């Protein structure tokens, strides 16, 4: 079903594209939200990603690879959104992900203060580092799938993932310093 | 930090994105934008159905009409339809790479009046130096160093694609390897920047350059003032062509890059491809397959012997072009940017003859 929608959207069928958007928008938005940490930014990145996909559909050679292709577009959209925001970004309470206080989403041992420290530390990472961590730990993608999405080699993903993890730990240590 | 184990990291990331729901209005907003793109692509507006005889007048009065199709139109060489004369180039253009001494001799022997902003590729090192230059009342141009092994001063690019390029040219990392140097009409030798090699050679094929640009997109890179992030310089062997100027096209809102908005849209293409086709009363213009969108008016400025047919179609011109790659681009600001990539054409690299050493 999804493959048919992708094929039709590639041919310029706007209705099929709309259906595809409805099907995928939640997942894309959540990935963007995890990377960007702001609902407003996630909304903007999600919108840009789908519009960019619509523009680029004729260049999608293999519809079977739609997920990886869209994933790469999403990461690029997050990168662009973050850069636009970087100079004016201030974290406000309104910007916090709506799930940040949702007890069901939290391990009971994770305190609110720790969540704050984590978010601040995460914001210090580059968007590529964030994307790697989100795709691997949250979306549980393997190295090969991430390599596909980011357009780099598997070995590169492995080394960058390691570095991203170290960067996050260092940033977290910095945030927790009294 | 031993307490950030995999499970806890996952829990935090789940928390950040897990409970969020996209606003209900989001699919509709996406639909609206996609729909406007679809209309731009496919609708031959009534105004576009002009009699060919009126085209020249209409173009002069208001620009020219464009209808988007899905691909470009390859030109049969050497005598294509519409009387176009695409320059067939059986022999690929060759780039002249000068050494420091040859270049210094060229500079010494050529009168400044004949420099004409020509650009040369020089395989040499530029040694940076601090100069004391006047800053009052305004900063005066100041050299950035000299060509190693010579006394030739090198100045920053006076017409950079972006101001940041000037700063980039001052960084030591930019000073190794082949350099693009401009013989500026002011009498200064200006550093445009380091040229990236491909497999030891200087000239790139268009598709190889596009592949490289795409790789660079996956790396972190600074973004410029217009939301454009520029990349390395390439010398590319390609055809330069322009689309017929559009009568109507929707100017992108708040266009960040006016050179990539409506107008005389330019493309670098791997073959002689004509983006505009006239079929009866209708004009079709398509983004050529495998093309790189370049700034408007690039064809007029840089194509050798730029020429238009009686139908106002630009004749594709093959040459070696020096281009500044674009890594990131605000797509909404760009007209006809469904190309494989974007770049600024900075110069055309023509062969340079240098007299042998010791000859006057």
Q: Does B41 touch chain A (CB under 8 A)?
A: yes
Burial class (CB in 10 A: 0-12, 13-18, 19+), A34: buried
Say if A2-85 and A108-176 have the same CATH topology: no
How does residue B130 score in pLDDT terms, banded at 50, 70 and 90? low
Mean pLDDT of B14-29: 80
pLDDT above 90 for B82: no
What chain B residue is nearest to A33 in terms of C-alpha separation? Answer: B17
A82 in B contact zone (CB under 8 Å):
no
How many angstroms from the chain centroid is the CA of residue A21?
A: 16
Q: Which element (helix H / strand E) includes B229?
A: strand B229-242
Which of B4, B15, B218 shows the shortest C-beta gap to A99? B15
Q: Which of A1, A165, A34, A41 has the alpha carbon at shortest distance from A100?
A: A34
Distance, CA of B86 to CA of B175 (rounded, Å): 38
At B38, the pLDDT band (50, 70, 90 cuts) reads low
d(CA A83, CA A41): 11
C-beta neighbour count of B360 within 10 angstroms: 4
* Nearest Cα residue in chain B from A172: B1
Q: Name the DSSP class of B198.
A: B
Measured between beta carbons, the chain B residues lying within 8 angstroms of A22 are 27
Nearest chain A residue to B289 by CA distance is: A59
Three-class SS state of A176 = helix
Question: Rounded to a whole number, what is the distance in Å from the CA of B342 to chain A's nearest CA?
Answer: 14
Distance CA B197, CA B255 (A): 33
- Interface check B43 vs A, CB under 8 A: no
Residue A124, preceding peptide bond in cis (omega within 30° of 0): no
Q: Is the pLDDT of residue B79 over 70?
A: no
CA–CA distance, A31 with A77 (Å, rounded to integer): 11
Mean pLDDT, residues A25-40 taken together: 89
Q: Could you tell me the pLDDT band of residue A105, with boundaries at 50, 70 and 90?
A: very low
Residue B353 has pLDDT above 60, yes or no: yes
Instruction: Please report, for residues A89, A151, B134, the alpha-carbon distance to residue A46 in angstroms, rounded to integers and kept in the order given.
Output: 18, 20, 50
Residue with tokens 């959209």: A77
Paired tokens of A109: 């041992």
* Alpha helices by DSSP H, B79-233: 100-109, 163-169, 206-217
pTM for the model stands at 0.53
Alpha carbon of B193: minimum distance to chain A alpha carbons (Å): 25
The whole-angstrom separation of Cα A169 and Cα A122 is 9
Mean pLDDT lowest among B108-112, B211-215, B337-341: B337-341
Question: How open is the CA angle A77-A80-A83, to the nearest 5 degrees?
Answer: 150
- Which of A46, A52, A97 is facing B331, going by the closest CB pair? A52
* DSSP tag of B339: S
Flag whether pLDDT at B349 surpasses 90: yes
Question: B136 phi and psi, to 5 degrees?
Answer: -125, 125
Within 117-146 of A, beta carbons closer than 8 Å to B belong to 118-119, 122, 126-128, 133-134, 137-138
The C-alpha atoms of residue B56 and residue A154 are separated, in whole angstroms, by: 55
- Interface check for B221 against chain A (CB to CB < 8 A): the answer is no
Q: Report yes or no: B345 and B268 within 8 Å, Cβ to Cβ.
A: yes
CA distance A89 to chain B (A): 15
Length of chain A: 178
pLDDT digits (tens, 9 = 90+) for B56-78: 333 333 333 333 333 455 544 33
Q: Which residue has the higher pLDDT, A151 or B225?
A: A151
User: What is the distance of C-alpha B265 from the center of its chain?
Assistant: 12
Whether the per-residue pLDDT at A55 is higher than 50: the answer is yes
User: Does B300 touch chain A if contact means CB atoms closer than 8 Å?
Assistant: no
Q: Where are the beta strands (DSSP E) in A36-91?
A: none
B182 closest CA partner among B228, B136, B106, B115 = B115
What pLDDT was estimated at residue B138?
A: 57
What separation in angstroms does the CA of B296 have from each of B17, B85, B342? 42, 22, 12
The chain-wide mean pLDDT, for chain B, equals 73
Q: Which two tokens stand for residue B339?
A: 């190309």
* Mean pLDDT in residue range B20-24: 80
Q: Does B353 touch chain A (CB under 8 A)?
A: no
What is the rounded CA–CA span in Å between residue B130 and residue B26? Answer: 54
A126-169 pLDDT, tens per residue?
A: 888 898 999 999 888 999 888 877 777 888 888 888 888 988 99
Which of A31, A54, A56 is closest to A41 using CA atoms?
A: A31
Contact between B20 and A39 using a beta-carbon 8 Å cutoff: yes
Task: Show residues of chain B in contact with A10, CB under 8 Å.
Answer: none
C-alpha torsion angle, residues A8, A14, A16, A21 (rounded to 10): 120
* Mean pLDDT across A104-117: 61
The answer, for A60 touching chain B at a CB cutoff of 8 Å, is no
Residue B241, pLDDT > 90, answer yes
Contacts of residue B339, Cβ cutoff 8 Å, sequence gap at least 6 = B267, B287, B288, B291, B292, B293
Where do the domains of chain A lie? 2-85, 108-176
B83 with B314: CB under 8 angstroms? Answer: no
Whether the complex's predicted ipTM surpasses the cut of 0.85 = no
Could you tell me which CATH class the domain A108-176 is placed in?
mainly alpha
Q: Which fold has domain A2-85?
A: Rna Polymerase Sigma Factor; Chain: A (1.10.1740)
Residue B316's pLDDT band, with cuts at 50, 70 and 90, is: very high
* Strands lying side by side in the sheet with B145-147: B97-98, B118-123, B178-183, B189-194, B153-156, B145-147, B126-128
Contact B18 A99 (CB under 8 A): yes
**Which residues from B are below 8 Å from A115, CB to CB?**
12, 15
B71 HSE (CA, 13 A, CB side): 7
Tell me the chain A residues in contact with residue B23 when contact means C-beta distances shorter than 8 Å.
43
Which band of pLDDT confidence, cut at 50, 70 and 90, is reported for residue A86?
very low
């Amino acid at each position: 079903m999804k493959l048919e929608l992708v094929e039709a959207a590639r041919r310029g069928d706007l209705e099929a594209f709309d259906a595809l958007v409805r099907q995928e928008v939640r997942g894309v938005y959540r990935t963007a939200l995890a990377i960007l940490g702001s609902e407003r930014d996630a909304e903007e990145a999600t919108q840009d990603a789908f519009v960019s996909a619509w523009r680029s559909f004729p260049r999608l050679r293999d519809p079977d690879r739609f997920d990886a292709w869209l994933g790469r577009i999403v990461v690029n959209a997050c990168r662009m959104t973050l850069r636009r925001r970087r100079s004016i970004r201030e974290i406000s309470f309104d910007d916090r992900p709506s799930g940040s206080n949702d007890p069901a989403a939290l391990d009971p041992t994770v305190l609110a203060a720790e969540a704050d420290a984590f978010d601040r530390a995460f914001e210090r990472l580059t968007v590529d580092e964030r994307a790697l961590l989100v795709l691997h730990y949250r979306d549980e993608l393997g190295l090969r799938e991430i390599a596909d999405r980011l357009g780099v080699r598997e070995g590169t993903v492995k080394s960058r993932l390691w570095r991203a993890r170290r960067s996050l730990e260092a940033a977290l240590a910095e945030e927790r310093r009294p | 930090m031993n307490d950030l184990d995999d499970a806890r990291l996952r829990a935090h990331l789940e928390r950040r994105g897990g409970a969020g729901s996209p606003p209900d209005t989001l699919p509709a907003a996406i639909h609206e934008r996609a729909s406007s793109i679809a209309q731009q692509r496919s609708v031959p507006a009534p105004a576009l159905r002009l009699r060919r005889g009126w085209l020249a007048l209409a173009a002069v009065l208001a620009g020219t009409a464009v209808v988007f199709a899905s691909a470009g139109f390859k030109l049969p060489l050497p005598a294509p339809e519409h009387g176009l004369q695409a320059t067939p180039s059986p022999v690929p253009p060759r780039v002249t790479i000068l050494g420091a001494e040859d270049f210094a001799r060229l500079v010494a022997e050529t009168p400044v009046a004949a420099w004409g902003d020509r650009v040369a590729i020089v395989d040499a090192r530029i040694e940076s130096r601090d100069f004391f230059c006047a800053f009052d009342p305004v900063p005066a141009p100041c050299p950035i160093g000299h060509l190693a092994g010579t006394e030739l001063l090198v100045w920053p690019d006076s017409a950079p694609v972006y101001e940041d390029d000037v700063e980039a040219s001052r960084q030591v990392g930019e000073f190794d390897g082949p350099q693009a140097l401009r013989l500026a009409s002011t009498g200064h030798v200006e550093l445009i920047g380091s040229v990236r090699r491909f497999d030891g050679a200087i000239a790139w094929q268009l598709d190889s350059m596009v592949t490289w640009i795409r790789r660079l997109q996956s790396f972190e890179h600074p973004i410029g003032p217009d939301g454009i992030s520029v990349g390395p310089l390439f010398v590319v062997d390609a055809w330069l062509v322009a689309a017929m100027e559009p009568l109507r096209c929707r100017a992108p809102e708040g266009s960040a890059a006016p050179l990539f908005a409506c107008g005389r849209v330019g493309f670098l293409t791997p073959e002689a491809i004509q983006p505009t086709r006239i079929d009866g009363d209708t004009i079709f213009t398509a983004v050529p397959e495998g093309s790189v969108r370049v700034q408007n008016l690039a064809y007029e400025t840089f194509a050798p012997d730029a020429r238009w047919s009686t139908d106002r179609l630009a004749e594709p011109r093959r040459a070696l072009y020096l281009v500044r790659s674009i890594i990131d681009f605000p797509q909404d600001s760009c007209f006809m940017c469904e190309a494989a990539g974007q770049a600024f054409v900075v110069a055309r690299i023509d062969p340079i003859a240098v007299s042998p050493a010791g000859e006057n």
